[in-house]
Amino acid sequence: MCYDRQKNALINHILQKNEDYQSIIIFASTRKKVGELKSALSKRNYDVEAVSSDLEQKEREAVLAKFKAKKIKIIVSTDVLSRGIDIKDINLVVNYGAPRDAEEYIHRIGRTARAGNNGHAITLVNEEDMYNFAGIENLMEKEVPKIALPEALGDAPTWNPKKSKKRKNYSGKKHYGNKSKGKRNNSKGNNKKK
């Protein structure tokens, strides 16, 4: 559990804590976020490359070849790498945010701990991701342990997936689910709003 403003510092903490890991994939949901995260990690002198649909297939394959050969330690990627890649010995998968789709979560974390090897998966869940992440847990029929945020990063949001169901619409107003603003009165056979 963390706030968005804490995510980059938390990624850095995770990477420093696991310096012996040689193969790490960090999944982000957008190409923009992939680019930003790759840039932030490069500034901290990590061996990192980015993979997204912005790259041609040959470019993606070149990055994967470097990753397999241990010439780079970290790949930041969209879901383009969550399926269909065969790379053994991935030590760590980090979800920069919770995927909206439970199936995508399974594919992402399935990149690690393959073929009898050990591996870890960590998902950074902000207050808006809680509802989706609770859905992922329901699909898996398993609660994912919530790890305490390092003290140096400050307070974390409290796990409350029901509260996170509130979200803002295009006007910035909070609303619940897909409920319409007006109710229809069908008792008299008309469809006028009350």
User: Could you report the per-residue pLDDT of 49-90, keeping only the tens digit for each?
Assistant: 999 888 888 999 999 999 999 999 999 998 877 776 777 788
pTM score > 0.85 for this model? no
Phi, psi of 24 (to 5 degrees): -130, 135
Would you list the domain boundaries of the chain? 4-167
More confident residue, 172 or 15: 15
How many of the other CB atoms lie within 10 Å of CB of 33? 18
Chain centroid offset of residue 10 CA: 13
CA-CA distance, 72 to 63, in Å (whole number)?
A: 8
Q: Give the DSSP H or E segment for 61.
A: helix 57-68
Q: Which residues of 106-118 are buried (b: 16+ CB within 10 A; e: fewer)?
A: ebbbebbeeeeee
CA-CA distance, 79 to 142, in Å (whole number)?
A: 23
* pLDDT recorded at residue 62: 93
Write the pLDDT tens digit of every residue in 151-188: 999 999 999 988 766 544 333 334 333 333 333 333 33
CA-CA distance, 194 to 188, in Å (whole number)?
A: 12
Per CATH, which fold does 4-167 belong to?
Rossmann fold (3.40.50)
Q: Does the pLDDT of residue 125 top 70, yes or no?
A: yes
Angle at 168 between CA 147 and CA 103, to 5 degrees: 50
CA-CA distance, 37 to 51, in Å (whole number)?
A: 12
The answer to whether residues 96 and 38 touch, using CB atoms and an 8 Å cutoff, is: no
